[in-house]
Amino acid sequence: MANLKAAHETTIQLEERPHANIKSIWKEISAVIKIGIVHSNLITTFTGLWLALYFMGEKFLENLHIVFFALFGSALIIAGSCSINNYIDRDIDHLMERTKKRPTVTGTIEPRRVLWLGIVLITVGTLSLLMTTVAAAIFGLIGVVTYVFLYTMWTKRNYTLNTVVGSISGAMPPVIGWAAVDPHFHVVPFVLFLLMFLWQPPHFLALAMKRCEEYRAAGIPMLPVVHGFAMTKRQMVIWVACLLPLPFYLFSLGTPFLTVATLLNVGWLILGLYGFKMKDDLKWAKWMFVYSLNYLTILFVAMVIVTID
């Protein structure tokens, strides 16, 4: 009986092991491609695409092939860029709490494989975007070059403006989405770009304040590390204030959207100004960070909701 029981347990372990391995492998790959960043950027990509269909008078269900290639391609180039970022930053990631468990640090995935994964993902993603329009592929590559070369390889370790440079690539997804439908210039994708561009500095500077000592240990010249919290808070408020007029350039989305967007902007500005009075800078930074996440989600979801026929 004991032998039968042992054999039964061994069989169960053998049956469960492939599932456990697949789950483990996906977990490692998700960390390499930064799946959370991919998901959040797809929201803005979809919004840009959705609005292009709306303003061009096109039907969503009649353009599912464009939707697929645009989202699939965007997801792959973002994942690929993040993979290469992991490859490049593997020498400093072990110094930061939030990055020290990445596969490129723990050694569970060879760095060379991470690099090739990034290259393959970007290549396939670009080809996917080319199935929509050439403009979408070009905007995608602009995002890749900005994130990998101008941000990760150049400014991140040398200048406090690294956050601003990185914001260019982070602002590309809605433009890619729009260009997949309409490759010509239009004010809406330009405003979406500006919204994303201006949103990122206060979002990431709030994170930099929370992780200030980690960035200091890693030798990354984030603004709060080099110039302190007071300067950082002033700049964050300025970036938030610059968002105030942008919703009015999207007046064609209607009064409900303008109301929601303006309330979100005013609320964020009030919270930002409250930081000059609040003594606990880290607690304030946490509030700003959480608000920024909700701000982006609500704003872009609202754009889709108000344009549903």
Token pair recorded at residue 177? 């989405």
Sign of the dihedral defined by the CA atoms of residues 105, 106, 112, 117, in that order: negative
> What confidence score (pLDDT) does residue 98 get?
84
Model confidence at 18: pLDDT above 50: yes
Where does the chain have alpha helices with state H?
Answer: 2-33, 35-56, 64-88, 103-106, 111-130, 134-145, 162-170, 172-179, 187-210, 212-218, 223-241, 255-274, 281-305
Question: Is 74 part of a structural domain of the chain?
Answer: yes
Q: In this structure, are residues 140 and 159 in contact, taking their beta carbons and an 8 Å threshold?
A: no
Tell me if 259 is assigned to some domain: yes
According to DSSP, residue 284 is labeled H
277-296 pLDDT tens trace: 999 999 999 999 999 999 99
pLDDT of 22 reads 80
Mean pLDDT value across residues 107-133: 96
Domain that holds residue 197: 35-305
pLDDT surpasses 60 at 83: yes
| Of residues 78, 277, 82, 296, the one with CA closest to residue 172 | 78
N-to-C CA span, the chain: 67
Using pLDDT thresholds of 50, 70 and 90, give the confidence band for residue 107: confident
29-55 average pLDDT score: 96
Residue 8 domain flag: no
Residue 305, pLDDT above cutoff 50 = yes
State both tokens at 234.
Answer: 């002033």
CATH at 144: 1.10.600
Least confident of 10-19, 56-65, 119-128, 214-223: 10-19
Look at residue 175 and tell me if it is in a domain.
yes
pLDDT at 80: 98
274 contacts 284 by C-beta, under 8 angstroms:
yes
5 assigned to some structural domain: no
Task: Indicate whether 28 belongs to any domain.
Answer: no
222 φ, ψ (degrees, to nearest 5): -70, 155
Say if residue 144's pLDDT is above 90: yes
193 lies in some domain = yes
Question: How many domains, in total, are found in the chain?
Answer: 1
Look at residue 24 and tell me if it is in a domain. no
Q: What is the band of 82 on the pLDDT scale with cuts at 50, 70, 90?
A: very high
CA distances from 31 to 40, 50, 109, 140 (A): 15, 29, 11, 22
Checking 4-10 for CB contacts under 8 A at 24+ apart, the result is: none
**Measured in whole angstroms, how far is the alpha carbon of residue 266 from the centre of its chain?**
23
3-state secondary structure 7-76: HHHHHHHHHHHHHHHHHHHHHHHHHHHCHHHHHHHHHHHHHHHHHHHHHHCCCCHHHHHHHHHHHHHHHH
